[in-house]
Amino acid sequence: MAKEISASMIEKFSDKIQTTAENKVIKDAVMKNGIKAATLNSEAVVSMNPVFSEEIETGKVSDQKASGRCWMFAALNTFRHKLSDAFNLKDFELSQNYTLFWDKFEKSNFFLESIIDTANEPLEGRLVTWLMDTPQQDGGQWDMLVAIVEKYGVVPKQVMPETFQSGRTLELNRVLDTKLREDAGVLRNMSADGKSREELEEAKTGMLSDIYRILAFVLGEPPKTFDFEYRDEDKDFHREIGITPQAFFKKYVDLDLNDYVAVINAPTKDKPYNKTYTVQYLGTVVGGHPIKYLNVDMETLKSLAISQIKNKESVWFGCDVVLYSDNTLGIMDTDLFDYDTAFGTEFKMTKAERLDYKHSCLSHAMVLTGVNLVDGKSNRWKVENSWGEKWGTKGYFVMSDAWMDEYTYQVVINKKYLSDELKAAFEQEPIELKPWDPMGALAVMQ
């Protein structure tokens, strides 16, 4: 039988606070300054020295502004690091607006195809409810960006610059989701009336025409070809006439994206290590690059990231940046805030429990550009964020090794750094996870 909160119970709770003298000091400090400021551990701040034994110089930090494009910025940042070194450019950026356009267009098609596929599922069922919750959004993962780049290529930022709404995507998302939910209702009703798949697909094509028009008006229409002109750091002028976005990626970025593997750490009982996983109804480009993860223990994940950094190649990674981090200081550390002492209780969920009980998941993507090694072991990491230069050390953060253990969920690694056993493990057929599995979470932090 359920037991209600009684007056005597509240009295006991209050007495427990009042009978401890230091509680008044703590309460006053928290009330006046807020939880983070009142519990900040100055020793942890001092220990997070932004100096690293292994470091990649990557230049000025980019700014995603009020959008959830962190995963896209992080991936394009790894591309531009390579491009800038190869062609002697400084502070060069690829167009995040270009990839945003195609991501939203492809996500719209992916959603409408999912609606057609599930037309016979009950509207109130968990699957269709899950689809309707978020027809499209800013968030994504590495493999989703790969699918976009493989199909559409990339362009310099100057060719398709930011617009008002590309850096403030809230209203665009509202407009697109309104239209897509309306379209979903039309397609489901057509299916209920006995219309064929071909008729549904024909109707969907007209819907996509509307979506394309909305995106073109808001973000601009992506170029089919463009002229690439630049002056390098030696002041030499270069010109490329009429190049396509696909040819630009091949010539100037020159990465085989199939060489890169999404490596995760999900220490839950339902996901054994050295197995591969995918997620139902997660993706961007229908028929494009598949989403596939290789699950490994945390020490293996870190050793792979260290190997890539030591070879002067930055590492895309996904984490839960919200917990135990401070944006102003640019520090992520499990000791940064002493909540246990301040509140007289313990916060002791394990990483697996945080995933199982929906307390944590991949929410943000950034780039690892350095690591500090002591006797071959990492103790802190250099992180390139995409929130501009006002946060941390000109936009760069410091992450403790303990924080990486607890709140990092994914890194992207070139296959050449994998052992033969891990390469073989990655080639396994992936186990399908439900759409709402925490490993299907998208990096979408602003």
Span 335-382, pLDDT tens digits: 999 999 999 999 999 999 999 999 999 999 999 999 999 999 999 999
Q: According to the model, what pLDDT value does residue 1 have? A: 84
Nearest to 35 by CA among 341, 365, 309: 341
Percent of the chain at pLDDT above 70?
A: 100
pLDDT 10s digits, 380-392: 999 999 999 999 9
Strand, helix or coil at 419?
Answer: coil
Phi, psi of 268 (to 5 degrees): -90, 155
Q: According to the model, what pLDDT value does residue 19 have? A: 86
Q: CA-CA distance, 151 to 289, in Å (whole number)?
A: 9
- Are residues 340 and 346 in contact, defined by beta-carbon separation less than 8 angstroms? yes
Q: According to the model, what pLDDT value does residue 181 have? A: 98
Q: According to the model, what pLDDT value does residue 21 have? A: 81
How far apart, in Å, are the Cα atoms of 159 and each of 222, 228, 237, 351? 9, 8, 17, 43
Q: What is the dihedral of CA 32, 36, 37, 38, to 10 degrees?
A: 60
- Torsional sign, CA 245, 143, 174, 197: positive
Task: Catalytic residue, from 70, 77, 289, 361: name it.
Answer: 70
Angle between helices 197-219 and 170-192 (to 10 degrees): 170
276-312 core/surface letters (b: 16 or more CB in 10 A; e: else): bbbbebbbbbeebbebbbbbbeeebbbebbbbbbeee
- Residue 238 designated active-site: no
Q: According to the model, what pLDDT value does residue 361 have? A: 97
Q: According to the model, what pLDDT value does residue 446 have? A: 82
Angle between helices 142-152 and 70-87 (to 10 degrees): 60
Nearest to 363 by CA among 391, 323, 315, 328: 323
pTM: 0.96
Task: Catalytic residue, from 97, 265, 319, 364: name it.
Answer: 364
- Residue 319 designated active-site: no
Strand, helix or coil at 367?
Answer: strand
Q: What is the dihedral of CA 155, 156, 158, 161, to 10 degrees?
A: 60
Helices (H), 52-95: 70-87
List the domains of the chain with CATH numbers. 48-440 (3.90.70.10)
What is the full per-residue pLDDT of the chain (446 aa) written as tens digits? 889 999 999 999 999 898 888 898 999 999 999 999 999 999 999 999 999 999 999 999 999 999 999 999 999 999 999 999 999 999 999 999 999 999 999 999 999 999 999 999 999 999 999 999 999 999 999 999 999 999 999 999 999 999 999 999 999 999 999 999 999 999 999 999 999 999 999 999 999 999 999 999 999 999 999 999 999 999 999 999 999 999 999 999 999 999 999 999 999 999 999 999 999 999 999 999 999 999 999 999 999 999 999 999 999 999 999 999 999 999 999 999 999 999 999 999 999 999 999 999 999 999 999 999 999 999 999 999 999 999 999 999 999 999 999 999 999 999 999 999 999 999 999 999 999 999 999 999 88
How far the first Cα of the chain sits from its last, in Å, is 44
- Residue 364 designated active-site: yes
